[in-house]
Amino acid sequence: SQQGEEDPQALSIQEGENATMNCSYKTSINNLQWYRQNSGRGLVHLILIRSNEREKHSGRLRVTLDTSKKSSSLLITASRAADTASYFCATENNAGNMLTFGGGTRLMVKP
């Protein structure tokens, strides 16, 4: 079953602009992760933020987590055409044995 929703469902921006995607979830979590998927193939892990963390950075990625609102955001700065993909948030349960995905955001970065 799907853990929550992502918005927007689709986002189109110009190269060099920033892209922000939001994710909401329903249950208590151990951590929240973001993944990228190109052309319906395998998912690539981007970043993990634990439930006791509020913000994390990795290169051009910035992730925030608000456990009181059960929400997270992913910011991609200075986007590139190669960032065009689907982005999914996923939450790992407290038992650490189950990863549940949100609906995903399809990002298109125009050159």
Partner 1 sequence: DTEVTQTPKHLVMGMTNKKSLKCEQHMGHRAMYWYKQKAKKPPELMFVYSYEKLSINESVPSRFSPECPNSSLLNLHLHALQPEDSALYLCASSQGTGFYGYTFGSGTRLTVV
Task: Name the residue nearer to partner 1 (CB basis): 51 or 64.
Answer: 51
What is the rounded distance in angstroms from the CA atom of residue 69 to the CA atom of residue 37?
26
What's the DSSP call for residue 83?
G
Task: Name the residue nearer to partner 1 (CB basis): 78 or 82.
Answer: 82
Of 10, 4, 12, 9, residue with least CA distance to 81:
12
Residues that bind partner 1 (CB under 8 A): 1-2, 30-31, 33, 35, 40-48, 50, 88, 92, 96-104
Task: Name the residue nearer to partner 1 (CB basis): 42 or 111.
Answer: 42
What is the rounded distance in angstroms from the CA atom of residue 81 to the CA atom of residue 21?
17
What is the rounded distance in angstroms from the CA atom of residue 38 to the CA atom of residue 16?
20
Task: Name the residue nearer to partner 1 (CB basis): 15 or 93.
Answer: 93
Q: How far is the CB of 3 from partner 1 (least distance, A)?
A: 9
Q: How far is the CB of 96 from partner 1 (least distance, A)?
A: 4
Q: How far is the CB of 16 from partner 1 (least distance, A)?
A: 27
Of 78, 99, 110, residue with least CA distance to 13:
110
